[in-house]
């Protein structure tokens, strides 16, 4: 039997995840009181049972959630149930935005702000998060991308590492991305913008890539950047970081930054230690 407990931050995508798991053949039960978890497991383990894949949504609104959840999960493991915990996480800013857009009340906000409720919830869920087998940060995930991650874990059985690395190109004239963890400035590289026939193209086009990468500095910079990230990323994984945004910037975000971001993504994407995404924020801006 595959028994998956889905928990995490309110607004982090638990409900959407449960629907997707149901589509993948899981028998899904949402918001079962923690006190009934052991009895529910006993029913599933009775002889003649036909259910072999279960997803159970656990809600922080249950009274004494932290203490009861820790005890209940430990009892399931003592029964020999191959328990897996999927923790749906999300950045505070994104959670606040989602609550404002939907005009929902955070379950733990009480009479305080949404932000206060989020902080209270993080503290309650801290110990459960540490025990999680999988952590998915939904802050920047499209619905399609979330489904792809779930398929990797629960259908294809691929080895899963919680760190998702996003390589992002951007233009400084439009501001540094607020969610960037590491920012690299490539405005020292030759600028195709000043070559009339190259100006309309982007770093996704081969002539631009050849123009930028023909410089000695570009190849050396890429080599050193790959070497640094190859060192840093395993240490981020070790410390439990589940999201890393590497931002590559040039003037307008169309030529040099796109070229280097593409090359960096190509150099790292086959590494099995982490997931990879590529995003060009300012590809449609007008100056390179």
6 and 88 fall within a common domain: yes
User: Do 169 and 276 have their domain in common?
Assistant: yes
- Please answer whether residues 243 and 161 qualify as being in contact, where contact means their C-beta atoms are separated by less than 8 angstroms: no
Question: 164 forms bridges with which residues in the sheet?
Answer: 243, 275
Residue 152's pLDDT is what? 84
Largest CA distance in the chain: 75
Quick: pLDDT tens for 32-63.
Answer: 887 788 888 888 878 777 788 999 998 776 55
pTM: 0.65
Q: Extract the runs of DSSP E, i.e. beta strands, from the chain.
A: 2-8, 27-30, 53-57, 83-89, 134-137, 164-171, 182-185, 243-250, 275-280
What average pLDDT score do residues 200-216 get? 96
Q: Which of 264, 32, 240, 77 is nearest to 167 (CA)?
A: 264
Q: Is residue 287 part of a domain?
A: no
User: In terms of domains, do 150 and 169 share one?
Assistant: no
Same domain? 91 vs 212: no
Give me the CATH number covering residue 24: 3.40.50.300
Give the rounded percent of residues in the chain with a pLDDT score beyond 70: 94
**What is the distance between the alpha carbons of residues 287 and 84, in angstroms, rounded to a whole number?**
49
Reported confidence tier of residue 247, pLDDT bands at 50, 70, 90: very high
Helix (H) or strand (E) holding 176: none
Kindly tell me if the per-residue pLDDT of 125 is higher than 90. no
User: Among residues 132, 154, 176, which one ends one of the domains?
Assistant: 154
Residues 62 and 124 in one domain: yes
Give the structural domain span for 38.
2-154
Q: Is the pLDDT of residue 287 over 60?
A: no
Is residue 79 located within the same domain as residue 14? yes
Query: Over the chain, what is the mean pLDDT?
Result: 87
Tell me the C-alpha distance between 26 and 287, whole Å: 49
* End-of-domain residue from the set 135, 154, 173: 154
182, 119: one domain:
no
Residues 141 and 196 in one domain: no
Residues 6 and 147 in one domain: yes
Q: Do 119 and 197 share a domain, yes or no?
A: no
246-to-2, 68, 108, 265, 269 alpha-carbon distances in Å: 35, 39, 33, 10, 13
Nearest residue to 69 (alpha-carbon basis) of 41, 34, 112: 34
In a domain, 241, yes or no: yes
| Greater pLDDT, 79 or 196 | 196
| Whole-number Å distance between alpha carbons of 141 and 145 | 6
Share of the chain above pLDDT 90, in %: 45
61 and 184 inside one domain: no
Is the residue at 159 inside a domain? no
65 and 194: one domain?
A: no
Tokens standing for residue 54? 């279960």
Count of domains observed in the chain? 2
Query: Residue 83, SS3?
Result: strand
Lowest model confidence (mean pLDDT) among 84-98, 156-170, 187-201, 268-282? 156-170
């Amino acid at each position: 039997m595959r028994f998956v407990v889905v928990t995490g931050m309110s607004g982090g995508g638990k409900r959407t995840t449960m629907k997707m798991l149901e589509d993948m053949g899981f028998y899904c039960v949402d918001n079962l009181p923690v006190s009934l978890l052991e009895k529910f497991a006993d029913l599933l383990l009775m002889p003649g049972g036909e259910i072999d894949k279960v997803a159970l949504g656990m809600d922080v609104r249950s009274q004494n959630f932290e203490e009861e959840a820790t005890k209940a999960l430990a009892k399931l493991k003592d029964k020999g149930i191959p328990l897996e915990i999927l923790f749906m996480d999300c950045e505070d800013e994104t959670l606040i935005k989602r609550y404002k857009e939907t005009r929902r009340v955070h379950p733990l906000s009480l009479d305080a702000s949404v932000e206060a409720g989020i902080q209270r919830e993080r503290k309650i869920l801290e110990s459960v998060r540490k025990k999680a087998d999988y952590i998915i940060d939904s802050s920047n995930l499209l619905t399609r991308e979330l489904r792809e991650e779930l398929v990797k874990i629960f259908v294809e059985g691929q080895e899963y590492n919680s760190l998702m690395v996003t390589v992002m190109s951007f233009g400084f004239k439009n501001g540094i991305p607020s969610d960037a963890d590491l920012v690299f400035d490539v405005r020292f590289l030759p600028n195709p913008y000043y070559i009339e026939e190259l100006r309309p193209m982007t770093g996704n086009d081969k002539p631009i890539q050849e123009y930028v990468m023909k410089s000695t500095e570009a190849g050396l910079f890429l080599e050193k950047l790959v070497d640094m990230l190859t060192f840093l990323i395993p240490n981020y994984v070790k410390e439990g970081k589940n999201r890393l945004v590497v931002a590559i910037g040039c003037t307008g975000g169309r030529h040099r930054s796109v070229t280097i971001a593409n090359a960096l993504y190509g150099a790292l994407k086959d590494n099995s230690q982490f997931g990879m995404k590529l995003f060009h924020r300012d590809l449609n801006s007008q100056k390179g």
